[in-house]
Amino acid sequence: MGPACLLIRRFQSPIRRIHQRRNLLTLAIESSCDDSCVALLEKHKNGSATLHFNGKITSDNRSYGGIYPIVASESHQKNIAALANDALLRRPVAGDGKDKMIIDFITVTRGPGMRAGLMTGMDTAKGLAVALQIPIIGVNHMQAHALTPRLDSALNAHEPEVSKGDISMEKASISPEPSFPFLTLLVSGGHTMLVHSKALCDHEILSDTSDMAIGDVIDKCARNILPASIIDAAPNVMYGPLLEEFAFSGCSPQQDHSRLYPYPWKMNAPSSSNLKNQFSYSGIGSTVKRIMEMNPKMDIYERQVLGMETMRVAFEHLASRVFLAFKRDEVKNIKTLVVSGGVASNKYLKTVLRDALDCKNHKDVQLIFPPSHFCTDNAAMIAWAGMEMYEAGWESKMTMMALKKWSVDPNADDGGILGVQGWLQTHVV
């Protein structure tokens, strides 16, 4: 495509641009924590989507026992551009059957997260957008987590059959599921949040982390509980999945574990008295540390039981905040609870939440767990958030800056997703 075409593309009206094109293609970058991720996502005119590339490289923080910002940042500098290069090579063929499809816009995580990592992603994204003369969208990482099940539903929907023509494709148009409003329990290495998602840019935070995030605490507990041989062989510092595998090796999450002990210790739920509706996980971390310090030579079986108990207490605490939320008038009729973030891939969490909802007369609440590769940090969810924002008429200015903190709640001090500077509204839907 020559320079004149590029200029015409850039200055077409956004409304024309959206309706004229059959499909939309975005390249997305995620670098808010220790994962360098790039994705290439196509959204078809009927609402379905195809993921052409979804690359991820996690920085090696093992010698630090946790995420070390300089190591993570250097890993982004090393890997983001190379991943973007790989993604560009995977562009699908355009409708003419000859050329590769043109990327419509670049999406990038603008925040919240570790500033140095965000800046590497943002600089790469801005460079691509300038070079390709296409718009850029800086999206909120937490909004992207909340929208993940909608990405999953679009990916599972069928691509339109071109031969049926435009009219039948319009009729067959698919809406992403779940529709708003829904609840999201975001349980990750950096967050523990219960969010009431009312609309694309309106996510009220009902409960938030008061001290440490659940994934962070599970990782620290796992580091204490797991035998040294498992820790030494771990591929990264994400010890949570290893704790699940270790604790439940030989028995299923459905089993009643109370018969497995008494031991001279007890795991208690975080005290609710001064917590209101907040989450608190630091106490679980210090209890496990104390138990292991008292018995550093603990045998494997007791370690397994301690691992199960740690997860049980942590997950029941999540359920307790969900029940509080269901007491609210504006929430009580919501029938969908999405569980997202890395910890959502834990099978025992699924059992605990389902059992707890059933016991408390919430049998009709549907639990949605997006696939685990979309639950941990990834760029496909960023690409999808970009798609939804773009179609809703939002782009970002090239002058936008990375945001270490950025709420998804319009009532927060920063005004939430649309409250920060740097947005361009191209059209109103």
Residues linked to residue 37 through DSSP beta bridges, in sequence order: 30, 56
- Cα Rg of the chain, angstroms: 23
Paired tokens of 279: 């989450």
Query: What letter represents residue 399's amino acid?
Result: T
Nearest to 129 by CA among 397, 426, 423, 427: 397
Residues 349-378 touching Zn ion, rule: CB under 5 A, are: 377
- Residue 195 near residue 187, CB atoms below 8 Å: no
- Tell me: does residue 31 bind Zn ion (CB under 5 A): no
Distance CA 116, CA 120 (A): 7
Residues 309-328 touching ligand AMP, rule: CB under 6 A, are: none
User: Dihedrals φ, ψ of 99, to 5°?
Assistant: -85, 160
Binder of residue 219, out of ligand AMP, Zn ion, none (CB less than 5 to 8 A by kind): ligand AMP
- The interface region with Zn ion, picked from 88-96, 174-182, 184-192, 297-305 by CB under 5 A, is 184-192
Among the listed residues 341, 370, 386, 416, the single contact to ligand AMP using CB under 6 A: 341
Distance CA 31, CA 144 (A): 13
- Tell me: does residue 386 bind ligand AMP (CB under 6 A): no
Among the listed residues 376, 385, 388, 396, the single contact to ligand AMP using CB under 6 A: 376
- Residue 157 near residue 48, CB atoms below 8 Å: yes
Handedness of CA 326, 330, 333, 336 (dihedral sign): negative
Binder of residue 241, out of ligand AMP, Zn ion, none (CB less than 5 to 8 A by kind): ligand AMP
Closest separation in Å from C-beta 275 to ligand AMP: 21
- Residue 195 near residue 205, CB atoms below 8 Å: yes
Residue with the two structure tokens 């920085």: 59
Sheet strand arrangement including 24-30: 49-58, 35-43, 24-30, 105-111, 136-140, 394-396, 423-425
Closer CB to Zn ion, residue 141 or residue 362? 141
- Residue 279 near residue 319, CB atoms below 8 Å: no
Distance CA 163, CA 184 (A): 39
Residue at shortest CB range from ligand AMP: 342
Residues 400-419 touching Zn ion, rule: CB under 5 A, are: none
- Tell me: does residue 35 bind Zn ion (CB under 5 A): no
Closer CB to ligand AMP, residue 61 or residue 188? 188
Among the listed residues 240, 270, 307, 386, the single contact to ligand AMP using CB under 6 A: 240
Distance CA 107, CA 96 (A): 25
Binder of residue 135, out of ligand AMP, Zn ion, none (CB less than 5 to 8 A by kind): none
Binder of residue 181, out of Zn ion, ligand AMP, none (CB less than 5 to 8 A by kind): none
Closest separation in Å from C-beta 141 to ligand AMP: 10
Closest separation in Å from C-beta 424 to ligand AMP: 29
Core vs surface per residue 264-284: b (16+ CB within 10 A) or e: ebebeebeeeebebbbbbebb
- Tell me: does residue 345 bind ligand AMP (CB under 6 A): yes
Distance CA 417, CA 202 (A): 8
- Tell me: does residue 238 bind ligand AMP (CB under 6 A): yes
Closest separation in Å from C-beta 342 to ligand AMP: 2
- Tell me: does residue 79 bind ligand AMP (CB under 6 A): no
Residue at shortest CB range from Zn ion: 377
Closer CB to ligand AMP, residue 178 or residue 341? 341
Residues 186-205 touching Zn ion, rule: CB under 5 A, are: 188
Closest separation in Å from C-beta 184 to ligand AMP: 13
- Tell me: does residue 104 bind ligand AMP (CB under 6 A): no
- Tell me: does residue 109 bind Zn ion (CB under 5 A): no
Kindly give, in sequence order, each residue whose CB lies less than 8 Å from that of residue 428, ignoring residues fewer than 6 positions away: 393
Cα 81 off chain centre by: 22
Paired tokens of 428: 């109103």
- Tell me: does residue 225 bind ligand AMP (CB under 6 A): no
- Tell me: does residue 346 bind ligand AMP (CB under 6 A): yes
Closest separation in Å from C-beta 332 to Zn ion: 28
Among the listed residues 377, 388, 395, 409, the single contact to ligand AMP using CB under 6 A: 377
Binder of residue 178, out of ligand AMP, Zn ion, none (CB less than 5 to 8 A by kind): none
Distance CA 229, CA 244 (A): 16
Distance CA 218, CA 213 (A): 9
Query: What letter represents residue 134's amino acid?
Result: I
Among the listed residues 75, 188, 224, 287, the single contact to ligand AMP using CB under 6 A: 188
Q: Which residues lie near ligand AMP (CB under 6 A)?
A: 188-190, 215, 218-219, 238-241, 244, 341-343, 345-346, 376-377
Q: Which residues lie near Zn ion (CB under 5 A)?
A: 188, 377
